[in-house]
Amino acid sequence: MKSDQSPMSTDPEPPRLTQPAPWTLRAGANDILPEEELTNLVRIAASLADTPVALIVLNDAGRNRVVASTGLESTAGALCDPGLFPDALHAESPVAIPDASADPRLAASPMVTGPAHVRGCAVLPLIAARGRPIGEMWVIDRIPRRFPVRLMRQLDDIARTATALLGVHRDRIALAHRLDEAEAMRDRLMRVAETDPLTGLANKAVLTRAVASRLRASPGAGTLVLIDLDHFKTVNDRYGHPFGDAYLQTVARLMTTAFGPDAVTARIGGDEFAAFLRTTDRAEIDERIDTIRSGLTAASARIGGTGLGGISVGTCSADRIAQPGFASLYQHADIALYATKRRGRNRTTHYDPDGAPPASGLHPVQCPEIAVAADGPANNPGSAASLPMSEVRRRG
């Protein structure tokens, strides 16, 4: 019921006004304000004050916006524009305005002169932590009226409840932000821990886990390829370390392209690379390796390197050993790689245990009868032969 009692603010001068500090509620488009709860509060305020309109206006990052309302339809949408609410009226304490048309702060406002026809109104500040005003709750009538002290206190309690609700919402967003940042930091640290910083390839730890996982899913399927860059120290000594870095990055790009997205490609040492392919088809593997070799030679020539591009390769397929696992594949691919180096480098050797005793953890020098299928000279990588390791040693 309307009353003619004095308003809470009885000072002859308007209460001290302050410009609110920027206060952001939303972190992104998907953050939803507690609009239903806020709307219930303004409905209670309008019912308590017996006014047709009540709403909450926030100063969100320096911009006014209406976030909850009731009765706006009675103003034909005239109060839907938050720009109508004057920035000058950010009071630090509740303000009762008997007639907005007679108040110098509001008399010229479109909300008063326009179709909304605001007259009697109560403005309850929403004060956040550390005394920062973040907006107001407006309780609006279209005729002049007074708001008694008791009513103003009740409306202020509702405004405080709205502020607390918005504070909880803001804290939730801040917590979500911190969780997102922590997750992003974790992802960055994981990438640093799992990625070679120069080439962007995986490191040996990632390769080890990936091979083990794939072999568990498909035992006997896949091939481990080890690649050493021939005479890489000479590359650095002759052309300098910046050239050497570019050379390593070129190898990484060529491997990624040749082996494809289904392969796990890694840098496992200074000039040592590895990849795990799902295929065990040697002809296909040779073709991909030859693509890398020829691409590296061409790229080296383009950037001024001569006599470069040689790579020594050893492979071992999971279907060639009795108990395939990363350690076993790595050991036997390394045996094949050693054979390649003994034969003159810049070629490929595939591990082949047919007709040979198991490696028993011994290096080829200690286990001379292990047979390997080896390609031919570097200018004819497609040819293949099978020869005992003792013969490899004699030819080296």
Contact 336, 316 (CB under 8 A): yes
Q: Is the pTM of this model over 0.75?
A: no
Q: For 104-122, what is each residue's pLDDT tens digit?
A: 888 888 888 888 889 999 9
The CA-based angle 347-348-353, given to 5 degrees, is 145
Helix spans in the chain (H)? 35-49, 110-113, 149-194, 204-217, 232-239, 241-259, 282-302, 326-342, 389-395
What pLDDT shows up at residue 76? 46
Cα–Cα distances in angstroms (integers) from residue 388 to residues 281, 311, 322, in the given order: 22, 22, 20
What pLDDT shows up at residue 362? 39
**CATH assignment, 35-178:** 3.30.450.40
- Encoded amino acid at 1, one letter: M
The CA R_g of the chain, rounded to the nearest whole Å, is 39
**Does the structural domain 204-395 have CATH classification 3.40.50.300?**
no
What pLDDT shows up at residue 298? 87
Task: Name the residue ranges covered by the structural domains of the chain.
Answer: 35-178, 204-395
The mean pLDDT values, 10 residues at a time, for the chain of 396 residues are: 41 40 43 79 96 86 78 59 56 87 88 88 86 86 95 95 87 85 88 89 94 90 94 85 90 95 94 95 95 89 73 94 90 94 91 57 39 44 37 34
The CA-based angle 306-311-315, given to 5 degrees, is 170
CA 162 to chain centroid = 34
Q: For 17-61, what is each residue's pLDDT tens digit?
A: 344 444 444 444 345 577 889 999 999 999 999 999 999 988 766
The CA-based angle 260-261-264, given to 5 degrees, is 95
